[in-house]
């Protein structure tokens, strides 16, 4: 399947994994709408690329999602959705209050539901579509001190597998990518916090972050983008591809 002139929406498309996927899609000939909360940042990224458009969205808010999708449709019908936006949290379970729990579930799971729900009817009517959910290795195994994030990402994996079976007959392909720690601003912020709190060097902080999962190195966002492109071209469905930082030097 060619991506030429296909219209893809990528949430969290202004940084890290989302931006890498957006650029990879454009290199394949797609039109891409990048979405996120920081519209000025998105517009600055998109302004020099005629294949890229910027739309603001709060994926935790249903009205914001519907407005963003309607805005994106003005460019072209939506053929592909990449649910990438999210955030991680860490700390002892007993210190987490309900408000923080609900926010993490909303951001990492309900947002994926809202975005998917907003595009699925159009895909059903067009009898084709492709959805890629960026989950995490935390959606496959559990990590200590990240209960809300792990719970949400397990939910994303379950959503992916269930909906893939439901939509298979309609020529709509739904998959998930489950990366470990990647070389992104989000992870680097966590590294800086470890350095400040524990007096570690950057490399020591990264090693300490990776050690519990057995991950040997940070994953580059372009590696994840390559898998996203492969999933599309191979017409895979219901897959949850783990990228654990162990298979390349």
Q: Report the catalytic residues.
A: 149
Is residue 127 within 8 A of residue 170, CB to CB? The reply is: yes
Is residue 7 within 8 A of residue 75, CB to CB? The reply is: yes
98-105 and 147-167 helices, crossing angle to 10°: 30
Pairwise CA distance, residues 55 & 85, whole Å: 13
Token readout for 175 is 């998959």
Pairwise CA distance, residues 220 & 144, whole Å: 24
- For residue 190, what is the enclosing H or E element? helix 185-198
Sheet holding 7-11, edge to edge: 52-56, 31-36, 7-11, 80-83, 129-134, 172-179, 240-243
Token readout for 117 is 């729900």
Positions of E strands within 67-191? 80-83, 129-134, 172-179
- For residue 242, what is the enclosing H or E element? strand 240-243
DSSP-based helix, strand, coil % in the chain, nearest 5: 50, 15, 30
Token readout for 148 is 């809300």
């Amino acid at each position: 399947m060619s991506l030429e002139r296909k219209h893809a929406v990528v949430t969290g498309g202004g940084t890290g994994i989302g931006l890498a996927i957006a650029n990879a899609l454009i290199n394949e000939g797609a039109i891409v709408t990048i979405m996120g909360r920081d519209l000025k940042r998105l517009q600055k990224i998109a302004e020099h690329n005629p294949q890229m458009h910027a739309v603001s969205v709060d994926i935790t808010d249903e009205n914001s999602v519907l407005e963003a999708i309607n805005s994106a449709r003005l460019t072209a019908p939506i053929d592909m959705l990449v649910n990438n936006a999210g955030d991680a949290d860490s700390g002892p379970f007993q210190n987490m209050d309900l408000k923080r729990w609900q926010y993490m579930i909303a951001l990492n799971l309900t947002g994926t539901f809202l975005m998917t729900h907003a595009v699925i009817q159009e895909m059903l009517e067009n009898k084709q579509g492709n959805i890629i959910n960026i989950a995490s290795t935390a959606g496959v195994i559990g990590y200590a001190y990240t209960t809300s994030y792990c719970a949400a990402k397990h939910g994303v994996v379950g959503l992916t597998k269930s909906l893939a079976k439901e939509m298979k007959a309609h020529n709509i392909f739904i998959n998930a990518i489950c990366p470990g720690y990647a070389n992104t601003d989000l992870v680097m912020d966590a590294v800086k916090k470890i350095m400040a709190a524990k007096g570690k060097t950057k490399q020591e902080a990264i090693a300490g972050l990776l050690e519990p999962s057995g991950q040997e190195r940070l994953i580059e966002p372009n590696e994840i983008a390559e898998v996203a492109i492969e999933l599309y071209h191979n017409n895979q469905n219901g897959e949850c591809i783990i990228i654990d930082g162990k298979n390349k030097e």
